Amino acid sequence: MVFSNLVFLFIFLPLVLVTYYLVRNELRNYLLLGFSLVFYAWGEPKYVVVMIFSIILNYIFGLLVHTFRNHKSLNKIILGAAILTNLLVLGYYKYINFLINNINELLSTNIHMDPVVLPIGISFFTFQAMSYVIDVYRQPGEVQKNPFDLALYVALFPQLIAGPIVRYNEIAAQIKKRFVDIEKFSEGIRIFILGLSKKVLIANQVGFVADAIFNKPTSEMSVLLSWIGIIAYSLQIYFDFSGYSDMAIGLGKMFGFDFSKNFNYPYISKSIGEFWRRWHISLSTWFRDYVYIPLGGSRVSKFKSYRNLFIVWGLTGLWHGASWTFIAWGLYYGIIIALERAWLGRFLEKLWTPLRHAYVILVFLLGWVFFRADNFAYSFDYIKTMFGANQQPLYDKLSIYYLYDYGAVILLAMIICTPVIPFIVKKVNKLVSNSFLQFSNQLIVSGILLFLLIVNIVHMVNSTFNPFIYFRF
């Protein structure tokens, strides 16, 4: 089940909310857990077993780590076993086909295995479960002795499928006790509708353009068409993923949970290091806290510091998918961030700010080519076409058509990528001083949100199923 689905909006969500606020407080966690399992099982019920296995596994490991806390050597072995077991489960479902294919190509063998289907959201809930055991080992929080509360942390439906990756210590207290008032519930609705609008009204529209262009051979593209395609995809992946994160955060607030922000206008960054502090923040900080810093971070020699950097970015690429293009995409960013640390960062600081923005835009546009394309040959041909190296025409009729039909949506999306609208809203709120004007302003905002919800529903009724991009990760 997805958030941008009429069944979710008109049946599942109202049913959860009504029953949640009708039952006694002590039953609410069990109710949410039950609905979360139904939510996950809606599309592929057999893989609920995988998630339940992960929950039980990490519940036991958490208890073992807590029990043998004073036996440091044994505790390290238990923690290592927990991490290894989690990675083996993730590796089997996500990477076994990739591994076998590469072994066959490298050794000219003919090992056959039926394709293993990837359970939706396995990367997200595995990382959450691992962070719980690691945090119990590090002693920043208490072990969870109630298996149902731990299960709710892992399976909570707002963030289950595509994040944000929530740390246990961030919501441990909220699992035990949380409070919702009208203001918080209303804020959750507002954030949810804005996230839904990002997905349905922007991501799906520009995604149509991106998919149509990337499905064409590069030999049939003009230079302008290739740029339209990658710009459309850059907007699609941002609004698709940040839209989902916003909906998850909004839904969380409706039930009393406060999830951390996962995106902070990454496309306005002035360096690639800053870009990754603003993009998919929960994943970036996860790798920082659980991989980079334990390896020594930047507190070691320069060689080891850069080694740690490349390990993290290689793993980041691999986390996104079982493909050499994803690994290359991760290492691509590792190289650029290493260069920024070495000397490029100091050079960028001296540049005119618009040039720094232009540098970041060019870097992430080229990076998204590798992320979107299925293979290296297509990626390099696509980039060559972007810069006119394939002797393709500067523009063609198709590129003019997309500019004419989708130019307004693309331009609007580019504006919304920046904090321009929040800046204007903030200025307007400052001008609104008396209570009557504030009330009128709230009515206007409510009217806009209601209008957006209606437009979203109309689009959802008339459109085909369009899942979120990060579901496959």
Query: In which domain, by residue range, is 164 found?
Result: 6-178
Which one of 154, 178, 202 terminates a domain? 178
| Residues 310, 295 share a domain | yes
- Determine which of 125-129, 306-310, 409-413, 463-467 has the lowest per-residue pLDDT on average: 463-467
Task: Give the Cα separation of 335 and 322 in Å (integer).
Answer: 20
In which region does residue 346 sit, left (phi positive, over 0), alpha (psi from -120 to 50) or beta (all else)? alpha
Instruction: Please identify, among 144, 178, 212, the residue that sits at the C-terminal boundary of a domain.
Output: 178
Structural domains counted in the chain: 2
Say which residues have a Cβ less than 8 Å from residue 53's Cβ, sequence separation at least 6: 89
CB atoms within 10 A of CB 352: 8
**Is 191 in the same domain as 99?**
no
Does one domain contain both 170 and 137?
yes
Rounded to an integer, the average pLDDT of 65-72 is: 90
Q: Does residue 359 sit within a domain?
A: yes
Considering the domain architecture, whether residues 291 and 305 belong to the same structural domain is answered as yes
Looking at 66, 71, 320, 459, which residue is catalytic? 320
Query: What's the CA gap between 308 and 291, in Å, rounded?
Result: 8
Instruction: Tell me whether residue 31 is in a domain.
Output: yes
Please report, for residues 32, 157, 255, 304, 414, the alpha-carbon distance to residue 28 in angstroms, rounded to integers and kept in the order given: 6, 14, 9, 48, 41
The yes-or-no verdict on residue 472 having pLDDT over 60 is: no
CA distances from 238 to 94, 231, 251, 423 (A): 23, 11, 20, 20
Q: What is the dihedral of CA 133, 136, 141, 145, to 10 degrees?
A: 80
What residue type is 468 in one-letter code?
F
Is residue 138 in a domain? yes
- CA–CA separation, 296 vs 314, rounded Å? 17
Instruction: Please indicate, yes or no, if residue 428 is contained in any of the structural domains.
Output: no
Whether residue 433 is contained in a domain is answered as no
Q: Are residues 320 and 351 in the same domain?
A: yes
Same domain, 50 and 167: yes
199 domain-assigned: yes
Residue 19 in any domain: the answer is: yes
Give domain status of residue 227, yes or no. yes
| Judgement on whether residues 15 and 154 belong to the same structural domain of the protein | yes
Considering only residues 434 and 338, tell me which one the structure prediction assigns the higher pLDDT.
338
125 and 199 housed in the same domain:
no
Which two three-digit tokens encode residue 201?
Answer: 């009204």
Question: What percent of the chain has pLDDT above 70?
Answer: 95
**Annotated catalytic residue 320:** yes
Does one domain contain both 166 and 252? no
100 and 230 together in one domain: no
Q: For 209-254, how does the pLDDT look when each residue is reduced to its tens digit (9 = 90+)?
A: 999 999 999 999 999 999 999 999 999 999 999 999 999 999 999 9
Global confidence as pTM = 0.91
Q: What is the mean pLDDT of residues 405-422?
A: 92
| Count of C-beta atoms within a 10 Å radius of residue 131 | 20
- 244 and 290 in one domain? yes
Q: Which of 125, 149, 178 is the last residue of a domain?
A: 178
Q: Over the stretch 351-394, which tens digit does the pLDDT of each residue have?
A: 999 999 999 999 999 999 999 998 999 999 999 999 999 888 99
List pLDDT tens digits, range 3-43.
Answer: 888 888 999 999 999 999 999 998 999 999 999 999 988 87
In this structure, the dihedral spanned by the alpha carbons of residues 427, 433, 437 and 442, taken in order and rounded to 10 degrees, is 60
114 shares its domain with 138: yes
C-alpha to C-alpha distance for 48 and 36, rounded to whole angstroms? 10
The answer for residues whose C-beta is within 8 angstroms of residue 435's C-beta and 6 or more apart is: none
Task: State how far the Cα of 244 lies from the Cα of 3, in Å rounded to an integer.
Answer: 8
**In this predicted structure, what is the pLDDT of residue 355?**
95
